[in-house]
Amino acid sequence: MTIQYNQVLAIWQDEGGGESTNFLSVQDQTPWSGGPYGALFTAMRDLSRAGNLAVQWSQNLNVVDPAAGGPYSTVKDRLTFVLVTADGRTGQLNLPAPREDIFVAGNVLVDMSNPLVQALVAQVTATLGASDGTPWVEVRQGVRSRIR
Amino acid sequence: MRFERKKRWWLVQDHRDLHLVESEDAPKIETRHGSAELLYRGAYETRESAMEQVDRLAKAYGLALAK
């Protein structure tokens, strides 16, 4: 498969204004046509000795989802899932500011039988993949941590 | 769109067997070695999307739906 690196981005902001961004590789690796920007990048390539590995297009989806408070509600609080492909490659999905009611006792390990978590698992396995689009077939135990 | 509580198709693994159950919450499966052996593999909106994951797990790990 030709690697196209099609991605979706999720941009987050917590109550204190802290921001973080997810870059998520998707299973759909259909190339983008370039739209009206093909000639722009041709002109840029003509002026550069560097090779142009990729051009990406991102378009905004309007979302209404205000930040809320909670014990782990900053973007420095992370929920990490390990993702696995059928051929054994691994990746991570990091979600900022996890809600507090999805953990088992101790509030570090995720209750993987939680419906919110399993709805995410279903979406991850259906739509996301490694950088070449190979689907994730497994979402392993989620763990909460705090980055510095 | 916010999460809506409703019945979904839950895919649950007990050892090498997959179970597909329509349920609102995590289904309780009779396991051969106790509930600690259960692995939850997603709660899907439709049976068809759950079956797509069954196919992926079959190819990746040789798992299959329990008879």
Q: Considering CB atoms only, which of A85, A113, A137 is closest to B40?
A: A113
Q: Over the stretch A4-25, which tens digit does the pLDDT of each residue have? A: 789 999 999 999 999 999 999 9
Q: Over the stretch A36-59, which tens digit does the pLDDT of each residue have? A: 999 999 999 999 999 998 898 899
Using pLDDT thresholds of 50, 70 and 90, give the confidence band for residue B3. Answer: confident
Q: Considering CB atoms only, which of B25, B60, B61 is closest to A115?
A: B25
Q: Residue A46 domain-assigned?
A: no
Q: Are A6 and A133 within 8 A, CB to CB?
A: yes
**Domain region containing A92:** 7-33+59-146
List B residues 12-51 in contact with A (Cβ-Cβ < 8 A).
24-26, 38-45, 49-50
Q: Residue A95 domain-assigned?
A: yes
Q: Residue A91 domain-assigned?
A: yes
Q: Residue A15 domain-assigned?
A: yes
Collect all residues of chain B within an 8 Å Cβ-Cβ radius of residue A28: none
**In this complex, do B25 and A137 lie within 8 Å of one another by their Cβ atoms?**
no
Write down the ipTM of this complex. Answer: 0.91
The yes-or-no verdict on residue A2 having pLDDT over 90 is no
Q: Residue A50 domain-assigned?
A: no
Q: How many domains does chain A have?
A: 1
Its pTM stands at 0.92
The answer, for B59 touching chain A at a CB cutoff of 8 Å, is: yes
